[in-house]
Amino acid sequence: MKRLTLTLAALLLALSCTMCAMGQKAPKVIRLNTPTYTEGMGLMEALKNRKSSKGFTNKEIPLQDISNLMWAALGVNRPDGRRTAPTGSNRQEIELYAFFEFGAYYYNYKNHTLELLAEGDHRAITGRGEAANAYLDLLFIADTDKTGPGHRPGDANTVSYVNVGYVSQNVYLYCASAGIGSRARGGWNQQKVVETLKLKDSMIVVLGQTVGYCE
């Protein structure tokens, strides 16, 4: 039954991508699968294989890998709501956004879902180079309203930069374990990102990361 459920979920995501390519609307909510904790290579082998990749393609990444990736990056891994990547004083100020060919999404870690923010292909605004070619681009954004005094824009955002480093490495390691390419990058279009995601003034883009199969 579990295998059937996962297969149906993957088929629904593939169908959604096809519908978007035909000019139909992107799904408002993508319900991600429960992460699989026992598949893939071990930590030491993943560390050995971790690298920044090149030659990204738009080949579809299976829904289970997308589900695992989002959880590995910044999902909930304990009953008290704490997550896979640490933040200073457990502020949990880092938010994760996912850009596909069919739309830009917010990762709701509490529900383990992707929620549509903007239809269409906005991958090119997330970074220079191959960002527009890959199946998935991520942006890590810090909400400085959550960091408290001393960590405001233009002040001591070093803490948030460090926290995003943990999240990015989680992405790198999962991708290495799953045979998927990844590359952290800068060069996002700040104005278009703010407009597309409708970001608050307190939110700052810290880093982008491209994910996809490579040639």
- Whether the pLDDT of residue 13 is over 80: the answer is no
Written as one letter, the residue type at 99 is F
Per-residue pLDDT, 23? 57
| Rg value, the chain, Cα | 17
Whether residue 172 contacts residue 164, with contact meaning beta carbons closer than 8 Å, is answered with: no
Q: Which residue has the tokens 């699989």?
A: 36
Name all domains of the chain by residue range, CATH numbers in brackets: 2-212 (3.40.109.10)
The CA distance from 35 to 2, in Å, is 12
Q: What is the pLDDT of residues 115-154, one digit of tens each?
A: 999 999 999 999 988 889 999 999 999 998 888 665 455 5
pTM beyond 0.75: the answer is yes
Q: What's the pLDDT score for residue 22?
A: 45
